[in-house]
A and B are shown apart, each in its own frame.
Chain A
Amino acid sequence: MSKVTDPDLMMLADGELDAADASALERAAGANGVVKVAAVREVGDLVRGHLELATDEAEDRLAGLWTLVERRLDGGEVEAPERAKSDREPSASAGGVWSRFLRWVDGHRGHLLTGALSAGAVAALAFVLRAEPRVEIRTVEVPVKGSATGPDVGSGGSDPIVLTATPPSIESLEVTGGTGTLFTIEDDDGGSETAVIWVTPDDVLEGI
């Protein structure tokens, strides 16, 4: 055997080599090699011992586990496992609403994160695609004082027409595609006023 490598020594420690290779490697291992083989086995002993002790500590809870398994078998094998009584973790009913909520959050962390990301994406999309603010103005045609009245008014004659809002419930406004002017005029009976919004579209020249 030429060069003895650490993986070779590990295979020797794990019994992965056939008898001939194993004895050849043992002869060639040298001082360091022998200690390394012992070290590999020692790590194994420590890990195994640690797990055995941890299992001893859980023995009481393991003893109660069959009841939970049997309950699930009787109950149609529900998906979520019930938990054996834990010394470290309070039962699901203990610890108050907040701790139960935190446990629930802890158990659904992935779902919550997905939900939050989805909600954020929808909100961002809605913001980007939002409609321009629109002001809807209901208008009526009102003849100016002293001008002719009747169905023909504004249909082709030269009588001035104003657009009035009914009733005005705003003090200022922005008008898309034109200029809006807000003023008030006295009503015919003189007892009240009507707010008037004069709208001049951008593409309409004044007076035409």
Chain B
Amino acid sequence: MRYNPGVTKRAQAQPAPARSPARPAGDGIDDRELVARAQKGDRVAFRSLFERYSRRAYSLAFGVVRNADDALDVVQDAFIKAHRHLDKFEGQASFYTWLYRIVMNLAIDHLRKNRRQKVVDFSEGTLDEGGLGEDSLIPRIIGGNPGRALLDREIRDRIAAALDELSDNHRAVLVMRELEGLSYEEMAQVMGCSKGTIMSRLFHARRNMQKRLVDLYDRPANLANGPGDQPGEEDRRGIESEAEDPQS
């Protein structure tokens, strides 16, 4: 599945169709049946699961480990581990839910093992005063179509750098939330911490991202849109008009 700047998060979160020309049987078959077959040793069924979810697994892994080679290693290890423990998968959750937990755990383990410098979380505790003051969210938006903005190499690099600078825990939570749309409760289970900690990490991750991208807010509206293409301006006006009349 290629990135489409206009596609929403939920639409993007759908399973990616396999791309390989030599596609194994399995298209159109639901996960449960593929898993059942794979549990009986059907390698082709397992390959179908791989092709269905390797891309999403990679996005998740890359978001956490921030290195393409390491992310590929994590995905590879995750599928090996999934295959090894497939008999323990009982089908109570979806296969991907089970898989992303494996990916997440491996990615976090990878960070722990290979950490060369540690970004310290000074904001690991509970949120104070609702995150007001210095640590409050910045009430600014870049505006326009973020997907189009990302076509600007400089903006992409800035976002990559901002993600790199987050602490491992902050980044992991942010990626889980934005990529997989997990609830706070689900993230707390995956990360093995309280829901309050998840909220705190997520809040500060977003706040830190905003701080590192703050100068983008001061640029002319919709900096990545082409001439004559100003949906960003419209969006900005829309938000401002909403802001003026919160009742609307």
Report A's interface with B, CB cutoff 8 A: 3, 5-11, 14, 16, 26-36, 38-40, 42-59, 61-63, 65-66, 68-70, 72-73, 77, 81-84, 86, 88-89, 109-110
A83 to B76, CA, bound (A): 9
A53 and B156 form a contact (CB under 8 A): yes
A77 to B131, CA, bound (A): 47
| Complex contacts, A28 vs chain B, CB 8 Å | 246
Which one of B68, B140, B159 contacts A61 once the chains associate, using CB atoms below 8 Å? Answer: B68
| Complex contacts, B132 vs chain A, CB 8 Å | 5-6
Contact A16-B62, Cβ < 8 Å, known A6-B137, A49-B3, A58-B71: no
Which one of B3, B20, B184 contacts A53 once the chains associate, using CB atoms below 8 Å? Answer: B3
Question: How would residues 4 to 35 of chain B score, 1 for a CB under 8 Å from any chain A CB and 0 otherwise?
Answer: 01000100100000011000000000000000
- For residue A69, which residue of chain B has the nearest CB? B79
Residue B203 is within 8 A (CB to CB) of chain A in the complex:
yes
B43 and A70 form a contact (CB under 8 A): yes
Identify which of B47-55, B87-95, B96-104, B117-125 touches chain A.
Answer: B47-55
| Complex contacts, A32 vs chain B, CB 8 Å | 139, 243
| Complex contacts, B243 vs chain A, CB 8 Å | 30-32, 34-35
Contact A62-B54, Cβ < 8 Å, known A5-B130, A48-B9, A53-B150: yes
Residue B193 is within 8 A (CB to CB) of chain A in the complex:
no
Contact A55-B139, Cβ < 8 Å, known A47-B163, A61-B72, A81-B73: no
A83 to B77, CA, bound (A): 11
Residue B36 is within 8 A (CB to CB) of chain A in the complex:
no
Which one of A3, A31, A40, A55 contacts B206 once the chains associate, using CB atoms below 8 Å? Answer: A40
Report B's interface with A, CB cutoff 8 A: 2-3, 5, 9, 12, 19-20, 43, 47, 50-51, 54-55, 58-59, 62-63, 68-69, 71-73, 75-77, 79-80, 83-84, 113, 116, 127, 129-132, 136-142, 146-147, 149-150, 155-156, 159-160, 163, 174-175, 177-179, 183-184, 199, 202-203, 206, 209-210, 213, 239-240, 242-244, 246-247
| Complex contacts, B84 vs chain A, CB 8 Å | 77
| Complex contacts, A8 vs chain B, CB 8 Å | 130
**Can you list 30 A-B pairs with a CB-CB distance of less than 8 A?**
A10-B137, A31-B243, A32-B139, A33-B246, A34-B242, A34-B243, A35-B140, A35-B239, A35-B240, A39-B137, A40-B137, A42-B141, A44-B9, A47-B159, A48-B178, A48-B179, A50-B156, A50-B160, A50-B163, A54-B160, A55-B62, A56-B2, A58-B71, A62-B54, A66-B51, A69-B76, A72-B80, A77-B83, A84-B72, A88-B69
- For residue A4, which residue of chain B has the nearest CB? B130
Closest Cβ of chain B to A43, distance in Å, is 5
Q: Which of B12, B116, B155, B209 gathers most chain A CB within 10 Å?
A: B209
A88 and B202 form a contact (CB under 8 A): no
A45 and B137 form a contact (CB under 8 A): no
- For residue B245, which residue of chain A has the nearest CB? A31
Contact A81-B76, Cβ < 8 Å, known A51-B179, A88-B69: yes
| Complex contacts, A29 vs chain B, CB 8 Å | 246
Closest Cβ of chain B to A161, distance in Å, is 71
